[in-house]
Amino acid sequence: MRVTQKDLDAVLALINGGRKYPEVGYFYLMGAYGGLKFVQIVNESGGVRDVLPRIGYVGKRAMLDALTSYLEGRGEARTLEHYGIK
Protein backbone atom coordinates (compact mmCIF):
# COMPACT_ATOMS: atom_id res chain seq x y z
CA MET A 1 0.00 0.00 0.00
CA ARG A 2 1.29 3.43 -0.94
CA VAL A 3 1.73 5.91 1.93
CA THR A 4 0.43 9.40 1.19
CA GLN A 5 0.85 12.75 2.93
CA LYS A 6 -2.78 12.37 4.02
CA ASP A 7 -1.86 9.16 5.90
CA LEU A 8 1.01 10.93 7.67
CA ASP A 9 -1.17 13.96 8.49
CA ALA A 10 -3.78 11.70 10.12
CA VAL A 11 -1.22 10.18 12.50
CA LEU A 12 0.30 13.61 13.23
CA ALA A 13 -3.18 14.90 14.15
CA LEU A 14 -3.47 12.13 16.75
CA ILE A 15 -0.02 12.90 18.12
CA ASN A 16 -0.68 16.66 18.31
CA GLY A 17 -4.06 16.20 20.00
CA GLY A 18 -5.43 19.63 19.10
CA ARG A 19 -2.20 21.66 19.14
CA LYS A 20 -1.88 24.01 16.19
CA TYR A 21 1.16 25.28 14.31
CA PRO A 22 3.22 27.18 15.59
CA GLU A 23 2.43 26.39 19.26
CA VAL A 24 5.24 25.18 21.50
CA GLY A 25 4.90 21.40 21.71
CA TYR A 26 3.53 21.02 18.15
CA PHE A 27 4.93 18.07 16.18
CA TYR A 28 5.47 18.16 12.42
CA LEU A 29 7.50 16.67 9.60
CA MET A 30 10.49 18.56 8.23
CA GLY A 31 11.54 17.64 4.72
CA ALA A 32 15.05 17.62 3.24
CA TYR A 33 17.35 15.36 1.23
CA GLY A 34 14.32 13.66 -0.34
CA GLY A 35 13.06 12.45 3.06
CA LEU A 36 11.21 13.45 6.20
CA LYS A 37 12.27 14.06 9.80
CA PHE A 38 9.93 14.10 12.85
CA VAL A 39 10.42 17.30 14.90
CA GLN A 40 8.75 19.22 17.74
CA ILE A 41 8.66 22.99 18.34
CA VAL A 42 10.38 23.64 21.68
CA ASN A 43 10.36 27.44 22.11
CA GLU A 44 8.56 30.62 21.09
CA SER A 45 11.28 31.43 18.54
CA GLY A 46 10.44 28.29 16.56
CA GLY A 47 13.39 26.16 17.65
CA VAL A 48 12.85 22.46 17.08
CA ARG A 49 14.16 19.17 18.45
CA ASP A 50 14.59 15.97 16.50
CA VAL A 51 12.15 13.57 18.17
CA LEU A 52 13.65 10.43 16.59
CA PRO A 53 17.31 11.35 16.05
CA ARG A 54 18.49 7.84 15.25
CA ILE A 55 16.49 7.53 12.03
CA GLY A 56 17.33 10.88 10.38
CA TYR A 57 15.55 11.69 7.10
CA VAL A 58 13.50 8.76 5.78
CA GLY A 59 10.82 8.02 3.19
CA LYS A 60 7.07 8.14 3.83
CA ARG A 61 6.66 4.41 4.57
CA ALA A 62 9.45 4.39 7.16
CA MET A 63 8.10 7.63 8.66
CA LEU A 64 4.58 6.22 8.98
CA ASP A 65 6.02 3.19 10.79
CA ALA A 66 8.06 5.45 13.08
CA LEU A 67 5.09 7.75 13.87
CA THR A 68 2.85 4.78 14.61
CA SER A 69 5.48 3.28 16.92
CA TYR A 70 5.94 6.63 18.67
CA LEU A 71 2.18 6.97 19.19
CA GLU A 72 1.88 3.42 20.54
CA GLY A 73 4.88 3.91 22.84
CA ARG A 74 3.46 7.13 24.21
CA GLY A 75 0.19 5.35 24.95
CA GLU A 76 2.04 2.54 26.72
CA ALA A 77 3.98 5.06 28.82
CA ARG A 78 0.73 6.72 29.90
CA THR A 79 -0.75 3.36 30.86
CA LEU A 80 2.29 2.50 32.98
CA GLU A 81 2.21 5.93 34.61
CA HIS A 82 -1.50 5.51 35.38
CA TYR A 83 -0.78 2.28 37.26
CA GLY A 84 2.28 3.72 39.01
CA ILE A 85 4.74 1.46 37.19
CA LYS A 86 8.09 3.04 36.32
- Identify whether the C-beta of residue 8 lies closer than 8 Å to the C-beta of residue 64: yes
Q: For position 83, what pLDDT does the model report?
A: 85
Assign residue 65 a region (left: φ > 0; alpha: ψ between -120 and 50; beta: otherwise).
alpha
The count of structural domains within the chain is: 1
DSSP symbols for 33-52: TTEEEEEEE-STT--EEESS
For residues 77 and 69, which has the higher predicted lDDT (pLDDT)?
Answer: 69
What's residue 80's pLDDT?
83
pLDDT, tens only, 5-43: 999 999 999 999 999 999 999 999 999 999 999 999 999
Indicate if the pLDDT at residue 85 is higher than 90: no
Taking the model in full, what pTM does it have?
0.88
**Residue 70's domain spans which residues?**
5-82
